[in-house]
A and B are shown apart, each in its own frame.
Chain A
Amino acid sequence: MRQPDGSSTFLTTRVETMLRWVRKNSLWPLPFGTACCAIEFMSVVSSHYDLARFGAEVVRFSPRQADLMIVAGTITDKMAPALKRIYDQMAEPKYVISMGACACTGGFYRAYHVVQGIDELIPVDVYVPGCPPTPEALMHGILKLQEMIQNGETHHDRLKNRNDDAAAIAG
């Protein structure tokens, strides 16, 4: 970067760190909202709580255009194949936040038609407790995810490391 006096300043970093910094600040969420929690998700993106402050407000309903899936609501056995399919359609790197007791564990529905936690189906990075979680709690979850992205602790990173290791051993 050229300074007014003609000298230059440098910022040295690793590409990896730079990429993580970029990724964490431009999360595009795909709200997989099925139930009551989805209404609280609406609150989070509405004017009062305004998720835009954390760079994660570009809500996209197409899995191809999103990298953060927020599962907000109960997932039933009937819904399960749809959830799995939509997750598979998202491009890497992708992250998952499980919002609310139902998505985390089935909540208080220990019942014949309810998935007892979405980690039966897809990997989860952050679990946000609550029934429904308050908007603050969900925002905390998103900040937590950003931290994990910066530190390389997400499921995506683990998967990548494992693949790299496997490649190193094989090669």
Chain B
Amino acid sequence: MTASRTETMTLPQSQADLLPKEGITSVELGEDGHTVLTVEREHLVDVLRSLKETPGLDCDFLADICGVDYPQRDTRFDVVYHLGSLEHGHRFRVKVPVAEDDATLPSAYGIWKAADWFEREAYDMFGIRFDGHPDLKRILTHEAFHGHALRKDYVPSQRWLLTEENLMTPKWATEKRANDDHMDTQVLNLGPSHPATHGTLRTIARLDGEYITEAECEIGYLHRCFEKMCETHGWQQVIPYTDRLNYCSSMINGVGYALTVENLIGIEAPPRAQAIRVILSEFSRIMDHAVCLGANLVDLGALTNFWYFFQIREEIYGLLESCAGGRLTVSYARIGGLEHDVPLDFEEHVRSLLASIPKFINDVDKLVTTNKIFRDRTENVGTISAEDALAWGWTGPCLRASGIPYDVRKAHPYLGYDQYDFDVPIATTGDTYARYLVRMEEMRQSLHIIEQAIDTLPPGPVITDDHHVALPPKEKVYTEMESLIWHFKLIFDGIKVPPGEAYGFTEGANGELGYYIVSDGTGRPYRIKVRPPCFAIYQAFPHMLEGTLIPDAIAILGSLNIIAGELDR
């Protein structure tokens, strides 16, 4: 991460004076550029509110809420809030210590709606309660689950079996209700295995005729315990797990993770590695948008476009396979750089893709963009205003479709994104059609970035020469004693990351992908919390459904690009 990036996030002194005086026990500057506040629980709501409402601070964006468990402390848990201001760019980390026997906090739902599911997750994983939360219950694990899985004393492999009798049905869904004309309403269950829900999402909706009057989403059907798995593996071993978060664009996840750990260690990947990361991340973004739009169109009955878009993926798979060996789950990024250099024909291959991909995009463009049926199905469907989108914690193409031009690559550049010339496309209507338009244009912008990156691809190594982090070259291991020792130490002990914490965020295909990482100096991460962009987006979905038709619900869902691997982790 470049120094400039940290600077864009740090709070200027003039604004630091605006911080509330009461309730804050310490103010520090984190190495990741965040202003770290420790706050007493009694004053939490006041502090959060003044962070949001004081002019000059304007923290309108709540990125994440999570717990961290320190069993040896008196106040066993830290509840950690990450928030920031899109306008000023500064970022805060607010920490609230609470004791195990009294782990209750006031809910932040009244300040940012985004707190809704994040608080439920902290409750599910740590047993921390939030007073005033509208519906505090488990979210990722199932009804028959006992205990709180991310507490340090929970055994990682301890399973609990769920049987059909215990399946969740919301209370409201079991009640009989009549509509205004005294006709019965119906409750419809969609998923978790349903062709239009793209994997493992479940929605329960009350219908009045064809209109949805009430809805609830149940998630966690793909909760694969990513965060717990990270705590039981070494730092490098986490990378294959990150691939499987948003598996439609796995490269981006690995890069985001590597950047955050590099920040904690205080190293940087060599320029060549950075440029290759940019190229492959942008290709992954194109792939991700392609499968999102393709699937969205299939749900609307336009199957042909799916084949066009899937061909883009096949072509890019070819490139990824030649670099990393894997098509889908690439595991190519490493802490400190990349696994190995790209093949000799890389440049040629990239250029041939740059030439072939626009054709597929244009084909779909011609078939769909002005198509009357498509526009009728998507315009004014699933509209969300800029304020609402931000309040729910939306980021990425979905937020930009509502008119807010927030893109991490522009606002807090990393990997040298500030050296590339590209636009951040936005739309203003915030409907399903706008989200389609934004994604289409983003694919073209990504191609433009790749074009520049390949023109300026520097030569040199692709992994750092810091032997605390990267293995020395094989020839040296065989000829030099010191290198042999480094090799031995790294293989046996793994990377050691100095104690500390950082929140690193990058622009994932679907929005701000954040990693909050705590290290205690051992060979394994102490805590890794992922801020999945679609988690925040999807929590608004049941609210968007009220008053829409069932077929519209399918159109809206497809346009949000919910990837279960990332949603449930």
Give me the interface of A with B, judged by CB distance under 8 Å. Answer: 32-36, 38-40, 42-43, 46-48, 61, 73-74, 76-86, 108-114, 131-132, 134
Contacts and interface: CB of A to CB of B under 8 A. Distances in A.
Given A46-B314, A78-B162, A80-B162, A35 B199 contact: yes
B240 interface: yes
Contacts of A85: 164
B406 interface: no
Contact of B564 (A35, A46, A110): A35
Interface size class of B (residues with CB under 8 A): 35 or more
A43 B193 CA distance: 20
B167 A34 contact: no
B159 to A, nearest CB: 6
B291 A113 contact: no
B162 A39 contact: no
Across the A-B interface, the 7 shortest Cβ-Cβ residue pairs = A111-B225, A36-B247, A61-B195, A78-B142, A46-B310, A81-B164, A48-B314
Contacts of B161: 77, 80
A85 B194 CA distance: 13
A79 B192 CA distance: 8
Interface of B: 140-142, 145, 149, 154-164, 167, 192-195, 199-200, 220-225, 228-229, 240-241, 243-244, 247-248, 291, 306-307, 310-311, 313-314, 317, 327-329, 564-565
B307 A36 contact: no
Nearest to B160: A77
A108 to B, nearest CB: 7
A75 B213 CA distance: 32
A13 B243 CA distance: 51
B193 A35 contact: no
A68 to B, nearest CB: 16
19 contacts: A32-B193, A35-B222, A39-B247, A43-B313, A43-B317, A46-B311, A61-B195, A76-B222, A77-B142, A77-B161, A78-B162, A80-B162, A81-B167, A109-B229, A111-B157, A112-B141, A112-B157, A112-B228, A114-B159
Q: Looking at A35, A61, A134, which has the most chain B CB atoms within 10 Å of its CB?
A: A35
Given A48-B311, A109-B224, A112-B157, 4 more contacts: A32-B193, A34-B221, A112-B160, A114-B225
A134 B326 CA distance: 9
Nearest to B168: A78
A32 B222 CA distance: 13
Contacts of B310: 42-43, 46-48
B162 A81 contact: yes
Contact of A132 (B160, B222, B240, B328): B328
A119 to B, nearest CB: 15
Contacts, number: 129
Given A47-B307, A48-B311, A81-B167, A110 B157 contact: yes
A35 to B, nearest CB: 6
B244 A36 contact: yes
A4 to B, nearest CB: 43
A79 B307 CA distance: 29
Contact of A112 (B156, B164, B195, B244): B156
Contacts of B164: 81, 84-85
A22 to B, nearest CB: 27
B229 A111 contact: yes
Contacts of A109: 224-225, 229
Given A39-B247, A81-B163, A113 B311 contact: no
A46 B307 contact: yes
B158 A77 contact: no
A102 B34 CA distance: 38
A168 B235 CA distance: 61
Contacts of A33: 199
A48 B155 CA distance: 44
B193 A86 contact: yes
B240 A34 contact: no
Nearest to A108: B240
Given A35-B564, A36-B244, A86-B193, A76 B224 contact: yes
Contact of A79 (B149, B222, B306): B222
Nearest to A80: B162
A74 B199 CA distance: 11
Given A76-B223, A82-B192, A134-B327, A39 B159 contact: no
A65 B77 CA distance: 51
Interface centre among A43, A80, A109 (most CB of B within 10 A): A109
A137 B450 CA distance: 32
Q: Which of B200, B240, B565 has the most CB of A within 10 A?
A: B200
Given A40-B328, A81-B167, A113 B159 contact: yes
A44 to B, nearest CB: 11
Contacts of A112: 141, 149, 154-160, 225, 228
A113 B224 contact: yes
A110 B157 CA distance: 6
A111 B228 contact: yes
A1 to B, nearest CB: 39
A79 to B, nearest CB: 5
Contacts of A42: 291, 310
